[in-house]
């Protein structure tokens, strides 16, 4: 067994018995399930309102029913995606930081460094361990949310829906590995462990909350609940004509948004799950044609983050933490 896998296996065993980990993941699972429940309730309310409206129209003698609301089961996952986007990233940072910091605080770093392991074994083992942990967590959350759609949402799923959920799960896994790896690298580079955690959280704050929020705030369609253009009953082609007059502004807004890896995760997830109206019920090939750039960027960023973690967690950086 290679040293990398030995370290990864220890991380798995250690985290399996870690109470903080259990609490964080339990919280994430419950929050995700509640979000499905809340979304399902909102769907039912919307449907009830529609049915009541149809009844009233029928009672008044109208024979032309109004257009039914477009409700699809996978849209119930919107809240879950947003929880993973924000809380998942934060928890990934906490776990990434913890995997380095605990060795120092527990006093096991010296024993680890006194072993004849290769240059990259320790960081690679830690990254691999967390990658497997996130794989298991995402798999469990995927099963739970799929069951929640069926049971709480009482909505049927087709084969293509399951495929969409699986794609979104892979995207979520890659996104979480990105944040954990980044936290490992930053913590290893920081002269003090607390600095590593603070810097990681500042990066999270900037790229998960602030930058996407600025982009969202600049979006003219977000100025009115329900969407500016929809409220004004402006059709898509006309909307595009209006926006063409603000191309520079929209370019800046979009540039700000896509500078955040979180936005890549969100756009990919919303597209493949059909949460974004434009991609709802569209073939996967069509979604991929539009979204491959985001997928490649997310994958490249995660690869860079893993490389950073492995490169930054040098023996010398770890040794500095002993004294």
Neighbours of 19 (CB within 10 A): 7
Closer CB to another protein, 136 or 198, in the complex: 136
Report the nearest approach of another protein to the CB of residue 125 (Å): 9
Q: By CB under 8 A, is residue 44 in contact with another protein?
A: no
Residues 6+ apart with CB under 8 A from 212: 257, 260, 262, 263, 266
Report the nearest approach of another protein to the CB of residue 171 (Å): 31
Report the nearest approach of another protein to the CB of residue 126 (Å): 13
Closest CA to 282 of 291, 293, 271: 271
Q: By CB under 8 A, is residue 133 in contact with another protein?
A: no
Site for another protein in 294-323 (CB under 8 A): 316, 319, 322-323
Helix (H, G, I), strand (E, B) or coil at 121: helix
Closer CB to another protein, 4 or 302, in the complex: 4
The residue count for the chain: 323
Site for another protein in 101-130 (CB under 8 A): 106-108, 110-118
Closer CB to another protein, 65 or 118, in the complex: 118
CB hemisphere CA count around 143 (13 angstroms): 5
Q: By CB under 8 A, is residue 10 in contact with another protein?
A: yes
Helix (H, G, I), strand (E, B) or coil at 295: helix
User: Where does this chain touch another protein (CB under 8 A) — which range of 4-12, 168-176, 223-231, 254-262?
Assistant: 4-12
Closer CB to another protein, 20 or 224, in the complex: 20
Site for another protein in 184-213 (CB under 8 A): none
Site for another protein in 12-31 (CB under 8 A): 13-14, 17-18
Closer CB to another protein, 111 or 202, in the complex: 111
CA distance 316 to 134: 28
Neighbours of 237 (CB within 10 A): 7
Q: By CB under 8 A, is residue 6 in contact with another protein?
A: yes
Residues 6+ apart with CB under 8 A from 48: none
DSSP code per residue over 137-169: HHHHHHHHHHHHHHHTS-----HHHHHHHHHHH
Residues that bind another protein (CB under 8 A): 1, 3, 6-7, 10, 13-14, 17-18, 106-108, 110-118, 316, 319, 322-323
């Amino acid at each position: 067994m290679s040293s990398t896998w030995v370290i990864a296996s220890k991380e798995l065993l250690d985290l399996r018995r870690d109470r903080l980990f259990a609490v964080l993941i339990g919280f994430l699972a419950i929050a995700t399930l509640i979000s499905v429940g809340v979304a399902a309730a909102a769907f039912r309310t919307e449907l009830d309102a529609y049915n009541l409206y149809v009844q009233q129209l029928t009672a008044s003698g109208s024979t032309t029913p109004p257009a039914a609301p477009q409700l699809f089961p996978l849209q119930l996952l919107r809240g879950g995606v947003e929880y993973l986007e924000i809380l998942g990233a934060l928890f990934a940072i906490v776990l990434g930081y913890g995997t380095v910091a605990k060795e120092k605080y527990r006093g096991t770093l010296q024993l680890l460094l006194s072993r004849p392991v290769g240059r990259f074994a320790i960081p690679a083992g830690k990254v691999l361990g967390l990658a497997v942990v996130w794989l298991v967590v995402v798999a469990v959350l995927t099963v739970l949310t799929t069951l929640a759609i069926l049971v709480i949402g009482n909505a049927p799923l087709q084969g293509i829906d399951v495929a969409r959920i699986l794609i979104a799960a892979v995207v979520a896994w890659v996104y979480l590995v990105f944040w954990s790896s980044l936290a490992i690298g930053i913590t290893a580079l920081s002269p003090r462990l607390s600095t590593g955690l603070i810097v990681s959280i500042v990066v999270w704050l900037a790229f998960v909350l602030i930058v996407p929020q600025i982009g969202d705030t600049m979006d003219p369609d977000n100025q009115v609940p329900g969407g500016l253009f929809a409220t004004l009953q402006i059709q898509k082609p006309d909307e595009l004509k209006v926006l063409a007059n603000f191309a520079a502004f929209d370019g800046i807004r979009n540039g700000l948004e896509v500078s955040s890896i979180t936005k890549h995760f969100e756009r990919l997830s919303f597209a493949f799950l059909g949460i974004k109206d434009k991609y709802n019920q569209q073939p996967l090939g069509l979604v991929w044609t539009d979204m491959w750039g985001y997928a490649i960027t997310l994958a490249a960023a995660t690869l860079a983050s893993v490389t950073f973690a492995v490169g930054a967690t040098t023996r010398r950086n770890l040794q500095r933490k002993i004294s």
